Amino acid sequence: MSLPDLPSMKDMPSLSSIGSSAAEGAKGVYTAANNVKLFQKNLRDMITGIRAAKDKQKDYMNKCLQDIRAEVVSSDIRTKAVAIEKATYLHSLGYNMNWASFHVVELMSTDNVKYKRVGYLAATQSFGDDTDVVLLIPNLLKKDLASPNPAEAALAIACLGNIVTPELSQTLVADVYSLLNNHKPDLRRRACLCLYKCFLRYPEALRPSFARLTECLEDDDQGVVQAAVTVLSELAMHNPKTYLPLAPKFYKLLTTSSSNWMTIKLVKVFGVLTPLEPRLAKKLVGPLGEILETTSAKSLLYECIRTIVAGMTSQEKIVRQAVDKLKDMLNDTDPNIKFLALHALTFLLESHPRIVAEHKGNIYGCIEHEDSNIQYCALKIVRGLVTKKTLMDTTALLMGAMGKSEQRFRDELVWSVIHICMNDRYALVTDFVWYLTVLADLVRVPSSSHGSLVGDQLVDICLRVEVVRESAVAILKPLLLDPSLLERSESNATVPEALKAIAWIVGEYAQYVADHDAVIAALSHPNVANLPAPVQAVYVQSLLKVYASAVSMHAGSVRPAPEMPAPVLAAHEQLEGMYVDPEMPKSSPVPMTASLHRLGEKIRTNVAPFCKSLHLEVRERGCQLKTILDMTFAAEAETPGEGVALMEAFAVVLSEEIQPVSLKAQRKVEPAPELLLTAPLSKEWDGLLLSSDDEGSDDEAPDRKKKKKGKGKEDRSVTELFTQKKSKEQIAREEAEAREMLQRHREKMGQYYLGGEVPEAKEKKKKKKKGDAEALPEPEPEPELPLYMQQSMAGGKMARPTIKGEDDSSDDEYAPKSKGGGSGKFKSKIDAAELHAGLGTYDPLKPLGRGEEMPSVEAYPTFDPYANEPGGPPTNAFAVGAYRGKDKKKKKDSKKKDSKKDSKKKDSKGEKKEANNADKKEKKAPKADEGKVKKEKKEKTAKTEKKESKSKDKKESKSKSDKAAKKLSKVSIGEA
């Protein structure tokens, strides 16, 4: 054998050039010979550098990115692969690598599986729907999917499943579908899983491929069966009714499966199918009961329990068996298992509450658990287990847990206590005095966000339940007297909303107030200015009610108070339905005492800041209260007893009871037949709306009026009035007139403008802040409690009091509203749910129509081209270097085969021509010798074989020499 031609010494680099190139490589530059970067940092070196540069990691990563940008443009495939590998790692840390997407495609198209794997990994990590270069890879993926190399096909399937788009799915779904018939089980498994992603982006492919997908359930390889079960279970989760006919196949696999993973998938499928088919639940009692008793895998155990509690609640025997397993899970120290047990119990609250109540001890203990997820889940179960007998104990438990819990869970506890009591029109509450004490305690919960809800409940109970009004005033008065609740702090963020309701209740039912001095001092305290304006307005209004009640009680102690007379209608006013107020009956005058006079003067002094408030409502009510007190004291000074009578009349008017009104009461009122709500107010708008120039005003000059008398008034239409263009002079004149009118109105009604009085109000507020706050007087001893409250506190059994408006209100008026916090169900943002919406319209079990067949793809070889050859080393198609250096041989072998085919074709054509000529000669000379013809044929075939052997030897020698030269030229210092 002759040695291959080696390159000359001139072509090989010298040692000096190698040293200089090494020096340049250390600086991070490229050699001019082969464009290979010397001493290039690989991925491991970069990770080591990132960990070493703790203080300057960002600067180091930016430098790495600069190096990567310089390396990725190299023509050397190894340098490019290392750069893409490092860029992929940085992409996982948050550094975008979309700029290198085209280079990733270049790396994907290489023939070396080692570098192709790096390119596919980078594409999987960085490509998305908005990547432009995705349009360049369909043919590349199609080629790799059809490759006889299973490693390349596996890489293409894995990449396609992660970056699939509607266009890619439509183009390549047939190629993936054809892999279901591949002789390699691993490719069949990968193709089955990839089809699921293709179905999500291209739902039209589901029906033609569904039959072959179900056939995979009977595949010989268990991996393929598991993949098919996984795909079908995911499809059935979002559209279970369509996949109900597959229940027999799933049941057979459930009874014969030995894989926990596949059993879990099958159990989850039956969990969504059993609610649709009740007979299926009875059929599954045996297999699921056996799994509960025999399995040691907690994941499989939980899935069986969840399937039972979700769709098999009619089978009480297996439900009890599942709850017994949940008891063991509740006692587990692992918080994840404890949470799963609580989550499973929530499904049984409606169907089997008694079975769940057997474990309430463990459930109550979970409320104080350190894990917030366990706390919320336990609280949900507690809300569903409350009854009339357990209401007080459960509320006490929840109130006790508020002091140890965090702010978010504390708000959830407050919300739960209120909604447990108010649900179904207070169906569980039998003692409303107890409920009022609970609400009063909830007002003092620090940093609560439900002050408004507590206040609404207080007002609602006092309006609807008459017998608790006196008790309500006694329970809520300490909250009104507490000055710490008036301070501005984070802990009192929503307390003003509750104080607004408390002040209204104390003022509305002031006849039950015994200590008027303390209540009036609390309502007129200087710190009330810290409260919001609506709350201040209620405080000022309650001052009038409490003082009028105090005066009325004093007059009533001397003589009976005047009663509210019945309304009297005159004869002519009865027809019109108009109410006539009769005169109040006169009684003997009662002079005002010194204590009432002193109390009134105190109110008049303390209400002065409210009369100068910036808020109109507070200012108006303060001025009204001050005016009423001035009138009362003036009348009392003129005639003793007149002021008391005047205030007593106010008390009679304010004592009218406010009835509860349903939220939907207006719907029940039928409008009068003569009331035409849809009729226009006037049919002649054009005649009513006249131009402002034609209308005379009182301020116009007399000579202008005389001029207008002679002119006739012309009516203008509405469109002319609003579409008429005005000149600049007319606009300026109208603006000047508007300014003059505003100035005259300001001079005439100056007391209603706030501009000049704001500084004075601010100075007075500052002066008051500097001074000491007025101390509250000591409260007098509490009066004797009413009979209803005494019986309630003694623990005696009483009939549930009547609630006003209970029969008139609608059913959904007091339905629990979903809260924005933890009470509402968590809506997770799952992209799969939106993607599955497109699959709902495709029924895979219906027969295929025209044009729905999957397009045909070239058949795959039935043999394994990489099977172990006899006498040769075993091959591994997925090894990193399995195909390194062999790709070029394949190309050359293919070229040789093509040249052989061409030579054979030429020879066969020449032989055919010679055979035809010989046949002609034989026909012409039938008596010729046949032996001579055969000899000539043999000689010609021998000559052709010699020519072919010579050409083969020349080509092989040339290929060997070329290989040796290329290897020597590509030698790097690292590899040497």
- At residue 225, the pLDDT reads 94
Picking from 606, 631, 657, the residue at the C-terminal end of a domain is 657
Element (H, E) at 418: helix 407-426
- At residue 29, the pLDDT reads 46
CA dist 487 and 552 (Å) reads 33
Residue 395 Ramachandran class (φ > 0 left, ψ -120 to 50 alpha, else beta): alpha
Domain containing residue 944: 888-975
- Within 10 angstroms of residue 523's Cβ, the number of other Cβ atoms is 26
CA dist 651 and 510 (Å) reads 10
Q: 640 Cβ partners below 8 Å, 6+ apart?
A: 589, 591, 592
Q: Domain for residue 557, yes or no? A: yes
Q: 570 Cβ partners below 8 Å, 6+ apart?
A: 580
CA dist 21 and 38 (Å) reads 8
- At residue 665, the pLDDT reads 82
Element (H, E) at 130: none
Q: Domain for residue 188, yes or no? A: no
CA dihedral 505, 509, 515, 519 (to 10 degrees): 30
Instruction: Give the closest residue to 557 by CA, choosing from 631, 648, 649.
Output: 648
Picking from 320, 339, 371, the residue at the C-terminal end of a domain is 371
Total domains present in the chain: 3
Residue 426 Ramachandran class (φ > 0 left, ψ -120 to 50 alpha, else beta): left
Q: Domain for residue 560, yes or no? A: yes
Instruction: Give the closest residue to 485 by CA, choosing from 459, 510, 522, 460.
Output: 522
Low-confidence ranges of the chain (pLDDT < 50): 1-34, 567-585, 691-693, 695-713, 718-719, 721-722, 756-780, 782-783, 809-830, 858-892, 909, 918, 920-930, 932-933, 961, 964-976
Picking from 326, 356, 371, the residue at the C-terminal end of a domain is 371
- Which two structure tokens, joined as six digits, stand for 925? 């000379």
- At residue 278, the pLDDT reads 85
Q: 913 Cβ partners below 8 Å, 6+ apart?
A: none
CA dist 37 and 48 (Å) reads 20
Return the SS3 of 588.
Answer: coil
What are residue 30's DSSP bridge partners? 37
Instruction: Give the closest residue to 21 by CA, choosing from 32, 10, 9.
Output: 32
Q: Is 84 in contact with 72 (CB distance < 8 Å)?
A: yes
- Within 10 angstroms of residue 351's Cβ, the number of other Cβ atoms is 13
- Within 10 angstroms of residue 198's Cβ, the number of other Cβ atoms is 25
Q: Is 371 in contact with 339 (CB distance < 8 Å)?
A: yes
CA dist 308 and 288 (Å) reads 8
Q: Residue 184: what residue type?
A: K
- At residue 157, the pLDDT reads 95
- Which two structure tokens, joined as six digits, stand for 697? 């005003």
- Within 10 angstroms of residue 234's Cβ, the number of other Cβ atoms is 17
- At residue 729, the pLDDT reads 81
User: C-alpha distances in angstroms, 807 versus 425, 469, 660?
Assistant: 10, 21, 12
